[in-house]
Chains A and B, each alone.
Chain A
Amino acid sequence: MRNSVFAPPVTRWQRIRQSDLMLSFLESPVTVIAAVVALLMILAALGAGFIAFHDPYDMASIDIFDSNLPPAWVEGGDARYPLGTDAVGRGIFSTILYGSRMSIFIGVTSVALSLVIGVTAGLIAGYRGGFLDAVIMRIAEVQLALPTILVALLISGILRAIAPPSTMDKVAILVLILSIGLSNWVQFARAVRASTMVERSQEYVLAARLIGIGPLTIMFRHILPNVMGPIMVIATLNLSGAILTEATLSFLGVGVPPTQPSLGTLINGGTDYLFSGSWWITIFPGAALALLVLTVNLVGDWLRDALNPTLG
């Protein structure tokens, strides 16, 4: 059935539809559901401005008399706020949308940062070898021995020490992206290095060197496209990790400033009201976070198995 040799697919869509990756994707219902849920959550977060019932960070749109309302289906709930409201009358559903937009933004940018650093380091280490390789890999080893959250905390502490306290609120998000990005590059570097060492002695690389192409071009134009598989897998799995780290750091009070919504700050802000029984302020953002992380993880796990059957 996969013998498309006899009837070559015509359109690009058909080619995608009949690729091995797509077939394996459709064969796994859990992955399909996870991907759809993750995609919906990401789209909803991106379209927060259109979907949310009101802008919870626009003072004009919140009403203090609506504060601390339980979810709509609970006694005393209000249909305008399906998931209830927090202590100042912001709808939880709306804050989750705005919060996940921030969390996803930080997650994606920090993974992009780790990807750029890790892939560059891995290509250089794998292609050049020798002293540079040894130095990069020793640094990677030491960093890998420490848990991500600890490295991120340390980097964030150092960056805070450098930045003057008065500017902290403005640069907090940049500090957060840097600390998560810098604490996650190692996996990229190791995977890319391993694949690069294999590719380095392939004939196409030798041929490229023979005709006098420079090492940078060989690394990024010739080798990089051939090591993209593992990079994609690690990027997906790292995305869920980065979102988790963001939430954890913000929860600990060293991430996104409390005045701005992210899933972490929402959960943190809600814990104060947990004891008075307003569980929805914390639990719903928490559930959104867990769902987002779980679905991205499931897609990443599937991608790993599909692209690399030997890893099983």
Chain B
Amino acid sequence: MIRYISGRLAQSFIVMFIVAAVAFALFDFVGDPVRQMVTEDASQAEIERLREMMGLNDSVAVQFWRYVSGAVQGDFGVSYFHKRPVGVLLQERMPATFELAGTSVLLSILLGIPLGVYTGLHRNGRIARGLMAVSLVGISIPTFLIGIMLIYLFSVVLGWLPSFGRGETTEVFGGAWTTGFLTTSGLRALILPSITLALFQTTMVMRLVRAEMLDVMRTDYIKFARARGLRDRVVHFRHALKNTLMPVVTVIGLQLGAVIAFAIITESVFQWPGMGRLFLQAIQQVDIPVMSAYLIMIAFFFVVINLITDLTYYAIDPRLRSGALKGNAHA
């Protein structure tokens, strides 16, 4: 067990190292930062002094080390565009993205699993087939279009819900986190963006649970459970659903990363003040410190989520613990 976990940890470190190297290399593409900072009539000596002060004359390895050790402490440099520390910018925006992504994932689980079970059990029923057709159409409509349509319907035509922003937010944990959960306007502002973001994940979860249910319901132990005279409810939920959860947990785990990525689009449609919009602006303005920091953050989320998913696997599936499926841990 210790060997398995330490192996996974080592892999995660290698991935993070590579990502940090890519993020660091990004700085090379924009040319000499000193040229952009000094006025045109700056003397060579001045430029040289600034270079020395910024540590640009050090070797690449030393600079890389400085960047990484800064990043570990949350210091990603100063944004070219906002002229403020990137770490602070990210920290300000993080609660917005996390609350949006968290709500969407919760929504997609609460909706996707029951819908998946239903369509799986009644595969030829009229409602189930209708749901499947709707989900195919849902996958084909891009996220941003769904957001726009929701805005048009609920904000423009009906005027029920706000179309942009986060509403009123409250500071909690001594100002370290701002939340929209505590005010009515915050909750109202959350509805449309979180539905937009959740729709794609919901169809994914639903289709996956359905496919797994179809597979599991064909197995012998379900037949035996029925033969024992167990009630349908027990067979469906205690026996069948429980055994579909392995792949579902994995996919939801992996999808967490995708949700954060898709949040870029949703945040852009709803002008949600999160990290995704910060990153998008950074791309448009070629704001390298922000881009690099976002890259590292996202990679870190992915690595942590993958790690947790793998370890959850390990906890759920006893076969992994006994080593029977060795080498298959990430199947």
- A residues engaging B (CB < 8 A)? 142, 145-147, 149-150, 153-154, 156-158, 160-162, 165, 240, 244, 247-248, 251-254, 267, 271, 274-275, 277, 279, 282-283, 286, 289-290, 293-294, 297
Interface residues of B in 148-169 (CB under 8 A from A): 148-149, 151-152, 156, 163
A275–B149 contact, CB under 8 A? no
How many chain B residues sit at the interface, stated as a range, is 35 or more
B280 contacts chain A at the CB level, 8 A cutoff: yes
B279 contacts chain A at the CB level, 8 A cutoff: yes
B179 contacts chain A at the CB level, 8 A cutoff: no
A145 to B262, CA, bound (A): 14
Q: List 28 A-B contacts (CB under 8 A).
A: A145-B302, A146-B302, A147-B257, A149-B261, A150-B298, A156-B283, A157-B283, A158-B26, A244-B142, A247-B142, A248-B143, A248-B144, A251-B142, A251-B144, A253-B284, A254-B283, A254-B284, A271-B148, A274-B156, A275-B156, A282-B148, A282-B152, A290-B137, A290-B140, A293-B140, A293-B141, A294-B136, A294-B140
A171 to chain B, nearest CB (A): 14
B291 contacts chain A at the CB level, 8 A cutoff: yes
Cβ contact of B151, chosen from A154, A156, A274, cutoff 8 A: A274
- B residues engaging A (CB < 8 A)? 15, 18, 26, 29-30, 136-137, 139-145, 148-149, 151-152, 156, 163, 254, 257-258, 261-262, 264-265, 268, 279-280, 282-284, 286, 288, 291, 295, 298, 302, 306
Chain A neighbourhood of B29, CB < 8 A: 158, 161-162
Chain A neighbourhood of B139, CB < 8 A: 297
Q: Inter-chain contact count A-B, CB under 8 Å? A: 103
A184 to B244, CA, bound (A): 30
B151 to chain A, nearest CB (A): 7
Q: Determine the main DSSP class of A at the interface with B.
A: helix
A274 to B152, CA, bound (A): 7
A294 to B139, CA, bound (A): 8
A162 to B152, CA, bound (A): 38
A190 to chain B, nearest CB (A): 15
B204 to chain A, nearest CB (A): 12
B101 to chain A, nearest CB (A): 13
A293 to B143, CA, bound (A): 13
